[in-house]
Amino acid sequence: MIELAPTELLTRRLRLRPPRRSDAAPLQEAIEETLDQLVPYLPWARPGHSRAETRRYLRASRIAWARRTAFEFVLEAPSSGAILGIASLHRVDWLRHCAGMGYWVRRSRFGQGLAVEAGEALLGHAFDALLLHRIEALVAPANKPSQRVVEKLGFTCEGLARDAELIGSNFVDHLQYSLLESDRLDGARTEA
């Protein structure tokens, strides 16, 4: 049976949990802290991102979870409850047993391996609980830190997807990465 109820995932340093209404203010704070790093790469990130937009995101996340089209997780520090970022499985395609994966970590926690740690938990959930077969990640060619994350997680770069996403008013290219369940079982993940 596929587990679809909102769930929590625990790692050594993180709790990944579904977003709550009460997350609006602390999530907005994390977004504002990191916004200049998010704007070039994420379609929803733009200067002046408001708390109302964050509340709409939280509501949309709960709806997507109920519809089984996306599973957004807040990255939370278990000891303090501080919000450290977001990790998600999105564009879930149950016929193809496939989903996209995304993540971001707040600026004050850059370089600590939290995106890789969250990614490992998310992939375990995707393959073991949701029984997905393929996880895809689209990464901007200029986003070297994100490329390192997916490579540490064992993803394979399949090539360049031209004009793959609208960011601001421009279509941008993305590197298309994928990880198959069999890659994970074969131990494709390289050590950091």
Q: What is the mean pLDDT of each run of 10 residues along the chain (192 residues)?
A: 71 96 95 92 87 93 93 96 97 97 96 97 95 97 96 98 93 97 71 40
Residue 105, pLDDT score? 97
Give me the number of domains the chain comprises: 1
* CATH number of the domain where residue 100 is located: 3.40.630.30
140 belongs to a structural domain: no
> Is 71 part of a structural domain of the chain?
yes
Q: What predicted TM-score, i.e. pTM, was given to this entire model?
A: 0.91
Contact yes or no for 72/19 (Cβ under 8 A): yes
- Note the pLDDT of residue 90: 97
How many angstroms separate the CA atoms of 185 and 130, rounded?
Answer: 16
Please check whether residue 174 lies inside any domain of the structure: no
| Residue 16, domain member (yes or no) | yes
The pLDDT of residue 40: 87
Domain-located, residue 144: no
Q: What is the DSSP string of 150-181?
A: HHHTT-EEEEEEEEEEEETTEEEEEEEEEEEH
